[in-house]
Chain A
Amino acid sequence: MSANRKLNVDIDEDFEEEVEADVGVDNLAKYNSLCDDVKSNILKGDLSSAIKRAVSEAFISKKAPQDIRERCISTVIEAMCAVKTLEIPTIVKQLTNDELDILMKFVYVGMASPEVYNSSILITWHEKIVNVAGLGCIVRVLTDRNTV
């Protein structure tokens, strides 16, 4: 082994990410109203609007406490599960590419806990989103440090 391999590479200062760590009050209000709007749209049966509202703001978990995060994720996935399989492509087509990136984040976070959320519906959403937004959409979810 050469000498440079014996260096402790972790001794360097860790790379710090620039994240605004504090949870602002306006953020809380923003995310709460997001959940409420999506919920009321689901109750009205207007699922297209519910999904649109769900992806209208980039939800970033680092900027919200755990309970709000849970509430947001479950609300958005509830909306997605309520859509009939045949209607998914129509709704996906109405969204912009940036909105699809956000929706894809929810798909992945939902599939991460299969015991809570219905993965078979989420994988259908995944397929339909990739059909429109391409593989780039998946890559963006995987590289984005601002996770849901």
Chain B
Amino acid sequence: MISKYLIVLLGFNLLTLIFSLSKATNNQDNLISYLIFALLTLALGFLINKVRKTNQTDSNIQTTSNLTWKKLKRNKNAVFGLIIIIILVYISILAPFIMPHDPLEMNWGKTIQKPSLEHWFGTDEFGRDIFSRAIYGVRIALGIGLLAVVLNTLLGTFLGLIAGYYGGRVDNLIMRAIEMWNSIPFILMAIALIAALGTGLLNLILVVSITGIMQFARVIRSSVLGLKKADYVLAAKVMGIPDRQIIIRHILPNCIAPIIVLATLRIGEMILTIAGLSFLGLGIQPPMPALGSMLSSGQQYISENLMMSIVPGTMILLIVFAFNLLGDGLRDALDSKLSN
């Protein structure tokens, strides 16, 4: 079932790998992108292999991942979201091979041009190609968004697990601390933190990833509270298995569903936050192309070239929209408890 789509994808990957080989060694950026893409292809191959094996051995037994896939597939929105995300991820990894121009290349003779054959979405105030910049902007937005979400997830999950599992005082302490943390308006805190730490990619990732751990910790804590009373956990405890192992082996795997759902939904929020910070001049710094700053400079040229604001704005919208669609679908498919 699922493997059919994956094989098509694999075929596409292999073809792309062959065609872009000539460009791969042009510079470091290209080489890294090429290697990441090769790794992705390899992973895809393994996945297909695994799915096939499980399908062959017990075709009658419905595994959870199979079930989830079936549920998810029925949800047209989620599939739509997933497809957009896959396309965006492909675009952002393959950016160096797709971009018709260097996103940094300026051309003072061709500033603020309307779309043409040479520049599909026109050019900006530096004469840079908007299409290439948008692609590169998606790459950066996704990269930062993913990193921040991973950090955010790790932190939130960790706190939620500890609070839920140990309960009592630890729980109280952690939850109160998070509550206090959360009562500072988050955008203010982000601005203050960036002002204190300075602008830069790393700081940006750090700041957005610590500003929203509340939701994570809360949800994970409540599912841990439920799991804690499950028979197998109690049994493990009686057997004297250390807490750390119980948490990692028995509790964490059962929290994966809400974690994935929340993380998916959070990516969108993070990308919006980063765009907001860029709008205030605190996000990604030029000359690196970033959707948020493209949008805010596009506003200065709203009557000269609408493309300058529409393209980055739509890209942000598309990314966030796709992740929200998928997140909603995953929530329905994975976890009914989370539907609030």
Q: Do A and B come from one complex?
A: no
Binding site for A on B (CB under 8 A): none
Binding site for B on A (CB under 8 A): none
